[in-house]
């Protein structure tokens, strides 16, 4: 057996082993990249879902203000009961807002900015309800009488609901796009 035959005999298995080794490394890198992309998408989907659910709860808390005011106006509840219900609702809204603030970093900037406007509107409504219904006899006034009537606050709440619901719907469209990306 000459030297050339000896080289041919060992070269083929060596090149095969090198090929298998290089192929497995490339495949492992591709698998890691795929896993990172999948986990990133999965995390985004989970955070979109959490944000969407919390936003829905936040909208419900804002909407419940109308029914409390109506019950107070119709004397179905006392002023003290109204205060307790209102305070409880605002406390729940603040807890929901905190959860939203944690998850906001996982949603696109556009939705964060829109949610912040919704939250600012909610705070304005709460302030007006406070002056008009919670503590109507307060001496320290920030709003004019016509701004703290039931009708004025109801219009504010309706605007809040429209804006918040639009954010909710648009965010759910983003969620659906992410889910479609998994297919």
Q: What is the pLDDT of residues 88-112, one digit of tens each?
A: 999 999 999 999 999 988 889 999 9
Residue ranges for the chain with pLDDT beneath 70: 1-16, 19-23, 26, 28, 183
pLDDT, residue 20, reads: 65
pLDDT, residue 44, reads: 87
CB under 8 Å, gap of 24 or more: what pairs does 86-94 form?
86/129, 86/133, 86/134, 89/61, 89/64, 89/65, 90/61, 90/126, 92/61, 93/58, 93/61, 93/62, 93/122
pLDDT, residue 39, reads: 86
pLDDT, residue 66, reads: 95
pLDDT, residue 124, reads: 97
């Amino acid at each position: 057996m000459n030297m050339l035959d000896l080289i041919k005999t060992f070269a083929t298995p060596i090149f095969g082993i090198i090929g298998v080794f290089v192929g497995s490394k490339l495949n492992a890198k591709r698998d890691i990249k795929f896993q990172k992309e999948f986990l990133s998408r999965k995390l985004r989907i989970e955070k979109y879902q959490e944000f969407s659910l919390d936003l829905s709860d936040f909208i419900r808390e804002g909407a419940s203000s109308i029914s409390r005011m109506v019950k107070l106006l119709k004397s179905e509840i006392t002023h003290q009961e109204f205060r307790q219900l209102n305070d409880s609702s605002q406390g729940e809204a603040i807890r929901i807002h905190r959860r939203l603030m944690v998850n906001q970093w996982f949603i696109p900037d556009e939705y964060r900015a829109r949610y912040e406007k919704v939250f600012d509107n909610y705070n304005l409504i709460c302030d007006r309800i406070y002056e008009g219904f919670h503590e109507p006899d307060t001496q320290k006034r920030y709003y004019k009488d016509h701004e703290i009537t039931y009708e004025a606050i109801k219009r504010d709440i309706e605007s809040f609901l429209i804006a918040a619901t639009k954010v909710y719907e648009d965010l759910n469209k983003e969620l659906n796009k992410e889910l479609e990306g998994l297919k």
